[in-house]
């Protein structure tokens, strides 16, 4: 019993020492900067936090040059319609957000435009599952879109789109909890279109289509059978714009 009282006494002594040390530091800082200046420092710190919250909730601008790139794309693909592509962006990002929030590949697999993202998204979702991280996107609303970049060579074309979006965001790992206000941010999405697979340069392909049975990457984008396990793989129609990547590019 005396051991327990001694332990409690020791803990109380440590706590008292810490309180005294904090008080001494506070008095020293107050003497150094002055009482008024110390209050100013607290006021500045609060203002910085307010500014961060304002920036967090300020509608962002898209980053693109649609007027330059759109005519080039239409020249190469006569049926190209930027509004339809923007619609694919919105549906694709919404499917991604829903899959992350529900920690499920369901929404990704239901969207054929996200076929090329399946391996990356499955890895990410498994990671947040294992770490027990909860992420939510509520009241999603898109604002503006712009074509940021266009490239065409070796049988493959890519279009990069910049989009602004808002939502209530919550992340159980986040250091700053701004879940009470809407986050205004920007995303960049990249789309690929294979118009001639005979001209494809394998060294320049930045994606892989995996076998649904064994997970091995297929040796050809048009392969109908896995070379490793022999499973039939339904060919992916890459003569339409498929989302190749996405990233949030505004912090």
Alpha carbon distance 69, 138 (integer Å): 33
Is 222 a residue whose pLDDT tops 70?
Answer: no
Alpha carbon distance 251, 247 (integer Å): 11
Alpha carbon distance 145, 69 (integer Å): 13
Same structural domain, 48 and 24: yes
Same structural domain, 89 and 174: yes
What's CA 103's distance to the chain center, in Å?
14
Which residue range(s) make up the domain with 173? Answer: 61-248
Same structural domain, 124 and 175: yes
Average pLDDT (198-210) is: 59
Q: pLDDT tens, 97-152?
A: 999 999 999 999 999 999 889 989 999 999 999 999 999 999 999 999 999 999 99
Domains of the chain: total? 2
Does pTM top 0.85 for this prediction? no
What's CA 210's distance to the chain center, in Å?
23
Domain CATH number, residue 118? 3.10.450
Is 42 a residue whose pLDDT tops 80?
Answer: no
Beta bridge partners of 152: 157
């Amino acid at each position: 019993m005396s051991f327990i009282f001694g332990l409690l006494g020791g803990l109380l002594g440590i706590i008292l020492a810490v309180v005294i040390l904090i008080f001494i530091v506070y008095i020293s800082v107050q003497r150094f900067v002055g009482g008024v200046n110390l209050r100013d420092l607290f006021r500045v710190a609060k203002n910085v936090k307010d500014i961060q919250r304002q920036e967090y909730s300020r509608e962002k601008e898209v980053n693109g040059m649609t007027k330059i790139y759109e005519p080039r794309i239409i020249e190469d693909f006569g049926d190209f319609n930027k509004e339809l592509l923007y619609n694919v962006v919105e549906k694709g990002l919404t499917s991604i957000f829903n899959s992350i929030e529900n920690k499920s590949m369901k929404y990704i697999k239901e969207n054929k435009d996200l076929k090329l993202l399946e391996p990356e998204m499955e890895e990410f979702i498994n990671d947040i599952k294992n770490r027990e991280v909860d992420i939510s996107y509520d009241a999603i609303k898109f604002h503006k879109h712009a074509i940021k970049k266009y490239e065409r060579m070796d049988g493959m074309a890519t279009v990069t789109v910049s989009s602004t979006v808002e939502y209530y965001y919550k992340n159980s790992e986040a250091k700053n909890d701004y879940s009470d206000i809407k986050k205004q941010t920007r995303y960049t999405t990249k789309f690929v279109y294979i118009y001639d697979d005979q001209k494809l340069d394998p060294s320049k392909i930045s994606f892989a289509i995996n076998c649904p049975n064994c997970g091995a990457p297929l040796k050809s984008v048009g392969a109908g059978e896995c070379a490793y396990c022999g499973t039939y793989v339904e060919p992916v129609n890459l003569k339409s714009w498929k989302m190749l990547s996405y990233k949030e590019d505004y912090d």
